[in-house]
Structure 1
Amino acid sequence: MLFHVEMQVNLPPDMDPEKAAAIKADEKAMAQELQRAGTWRHLWRVVGHYSNVSIFDVPSGDELHDILSNLPLFPYMDIQVKALTQHPSAI
């Protein structure tokens, strides 16, 4: 199943910069691992925001939930998910 996922990151302004850098590095490593595995198919930055639009390819919503909730930045994210299906006019 394909899922359209929008993630808005909201780090606390008073977060220790070293802690923030470590969380971001862990997030990057996990995101790249999932991309190499073909699970995180697309990752697009939204210009002017600390957010992204992504496409995930996973067997179920439960698996997507497990992936998202294990992201290092998850506690600081607002996430919107939409399930996708083939459009009848797509070629």
Structure 2
Amino acid sequence: MKSAADAETLRPMAYNQGFYNLFLALGVVVALVLLWSGLQLAGLVLALFVCVSMVLAALVLLTSNRRMLRAALVQGAAPLVAVVFLAAALATL
């Protein structure tokens, strides 16, 4: 930020982004609770949904600005690996 005015302009977006990330994290926590409580299918599907959402958000970041490639890779790599494993786990049910 170059000024306090810039920070004020970005405050609503940052607030929204914070809650977006919180809700994704809560989705992962609920998915893990479902998995650990024996509701495997529900837990796997919820975890897959949340991880696919994270991968898609990384793609949106990349398409909005090609210079954000490194950030998109950092944001999307772990969820993409999780999607592969979750899809494999669903295929075995």
What TM-score do the two structures reach when normalised by structure 2? 0.36
Bigger-Rg structure (1/2):
2
Q: Which has the higher strand share?
A: 1
Greater relative contact order (Cα < 8 A, sep 6+): 1
